Chain A
Amino acid sequence: MSNYIKATDFASKDALPSGDALKTLSGTELDDEFNDIATASATKANASGAVLTGVPVAPTAATGTDTTQLATTAFVQANDALQANLASPTFTGTPAAPTAAADTNTTQLATTAFVTTEAALKADLASPALTGTPTAPTAAADTNTTQLATTAFVTTEANLKADLAGATFTGDITATGVDFGGPVNAGGVLSTSNTLDDYEEGTWTPYVTGSLTVGSPTYYSQVGHYEKIGRQVTVRGYIVVNQLNTLDGSVRILGLPFASNSTVGNRSVCSFGRCDSLAISAGESVTGQIVENTSQIVVYVWSLATGTSNMDDAELSDTAELQFTATYSV
């Protein structure tokens, strides 16, 4: 690019006297001037549709200028610093945007007004006050967690329970017993002495043995029944011996349904209501007891003259008949 500078002072020629050679305007002078003009013109941009080359510069407009003034790169950078990025923009101040319609579910920006409207339709996480007919997934039967229980869950569970009034139980029924109150021990648990926790009735088969030789007696009849109420067992027995068959020693009645308790001295008596075909003397009677930690009735013969003695096998003859009852604790 070059600027045109006039080389010939044409006006100074007017002051020269006639005949002066320099007063004449030569063709060379004119060519030089016009050539310089052509050269300068060729290196300038057109005012309209200019095609600039090199690195054009221009004055930088003030930040925020919004006219037809050319924008320099410095102007653009200064204005960019005031704009947010399209990707992951970081806004400052209080950005505002149009508020979407309620329940809008798009990528549109959510304003605080939109969120507040939507939040007003939701329940609080803490102590929510639900309205309408709230629903939730129904937990599996027997679930025991903090999961919400639906009416379906409760109904399912309730169907597995008995009614308080007029209950109809099914299957095997178990219970921890009936508590009749009473003193509370140091641990805060009701004393088992006040709890009735067992009842059972059934049969047992009484038989006699000898302390020296068990023998193999045969019988006409062996009948026994029992009732167990808590720790108390009541037995009734009826034996009619056919043959004693080598039974030897002191007579015992075995076959009790339960072993007696382990407490030393906690013994029970056995009452004989009917005895027959025994080889005992007049004035003698048959007694018995159940000692702790055993499962047998020890049979005695008592007389006023000699007191109590073990019944010997010789006193229990063939065809002997014993009918008795005893109550003992287990």
Chain B
Amino acid sequence: MKARAIAALVAVAVFFGAVGAQRQIHQAQEADRGEDILFLPNQKLLNHFTGGLNNIVADLLWLRCIQYIGTESKGDRNFTWLNEMVNAVVQLDPHFGDAYRYGGMFLAALKSDDDSGIKLLERGVVANPRNFQLPYELAMIFLLNRKDEPGSKERATYYLSMAASIDTCPEFVRDLATTLQGQYNLDEVEIGMWNRMADSEDKLLRELAQRKLVEVDIRNTTETLNKAMLTFNGRVGHFPNNLEELAASGITPVPVNDALGGYFVLGDDGVIRNTTLLDGEKKNLLKSLQKLVERYKEDKGEWPPSLQALVDGGITDQLPEHPYHDETWHYDRATGLVS
């Protein structure tokens, strides 16, 4: 009968509509997580088979964990299984902030197992990019537990900076971060982190780490090039007019392109910059600008008339500069889009 055939066709069409919606859901999930932090897919296997009850099982496991800590505290104080238990809890409920915090704390303090505590907290940071407490705890471990180790202050600074960059972080963390940033060089810490991640089993993380290492490399090259400019000036008496001149002087090799397809440019102000890094910076700044614009809309109920209005309206203290000095931010008042 015709009506039946039509109904069946409609059902099929609706099904494909559902498939489309599912794909949109994936997109929304990715957006929620933020771009630079990636989930670790294959570790989610355990979650799949608890029928949607992961969080309850995580809770029960956590309670068991606390009991374990209590019993061990009164007994041999070995805490042999603490690491496995806490990791199982966060595997089931990756957003369980307290488990990371207390778990990391207990592992470092009670079991004297800093490494496991640190690993746990790092895992927490990856899964909860908006929770400032976790990088903060990490910084504390480095500052306090490991303060005599070389490089620990740098790492603490790194984590504090991470904590400070999160919106909900309290003032004192920001202040502490600024103070430490002034004192310690972060590059080595960062390279160490990315090197560790490059060994990860996960393909996506490896790729991310490799890219980040190249970016660090480009930054270093840019700095070296700028230092070479000064050396050139010192020797010759004026700054080179272009990159070829600098290359010809032999002070340092001047690559044309970088490994990621960008290139080096000598700006009007005599500073050498790299387009890959500039593009990256531009993207990040665009995102934050966009967020500011949206916050303006939430507060005042309409798109801001201009980007300057963001400062006037008290949304932010200062507009960021465009990384490309000869370009400015474009803002479309009708759609509220920054480009």
Partners in one complex: no
Residue numbers of A with Cβ under 8 A of B are none
Residue numbers of B with Cβ under 8 A of A are none
